[in-house]
Amino acid sequence: MKIDSIKQYIALRSSLLNEKVALENRLAQINEALQGEGAVAAAPAKVTLAAKAKMVAVPQVKVAKHQTLPKIKNPMSLKAAVIKVTTVRPLTKPEILTAIHKLGYRFATPTPLKSLDVVLYTKGDFKRTNGRFSPGK
């Protein structure tokens, strides 16, 4: 078993060395073509480990952090506002949203209906009848 592993290692190593030589030859041909007909190709310089580390290193890029919006101060919670507007009569979601805006409630999200859904569909807080919501308690 160990002999097979050693033979496999030797075979892989030799194939890698052959590939390295072929790549170096190809690189020499490319360098010669880039330098022109009369120029002599420069021998590849020895690359140290530190130089390799510099070549591989990815430059640090500062990523802009998510811009936070200033906290909105509302006179009451969203749930309290929904209860206040639906106690008069049952309302649909768009009607609730416009009534809440009239109360002066402001949303920090671009999709206020999703925030409204969280409040309306919390178990036991509101009753839904024919698409209209009223306080459940």
CA count, 13 A, side-chain hemisphere, 14? 6
What the block records as the tokens of 115 is 């925030």
Q: How far apart are CA 133 and CA 121, in angstroms?
A: 10
Among 87, 80, 76, which residue's Cα sits nearest to residue 133?
87
Q: What percent helix, strand, coil does the chain show, rounded to 5?
A: 50, 5, 40
Please state which of the four CATH numbers 3.30.420, 1.10.10, 3.30.1490, 1.10.357 is assigned to the domain occupying 78-135.
1.10.10
Q: What is the pTM of this model?
A: 0.49
pLDDT tens for each residue of 23-75: 888 888 888 888 875 555 555 566 666 555 555 544 555 656 666 667 788 88
Q: Where in the chain is the domain with CATH 1.10.10?
A: 78-135
The pLDDT > 90 percentage for the chain reads: 25
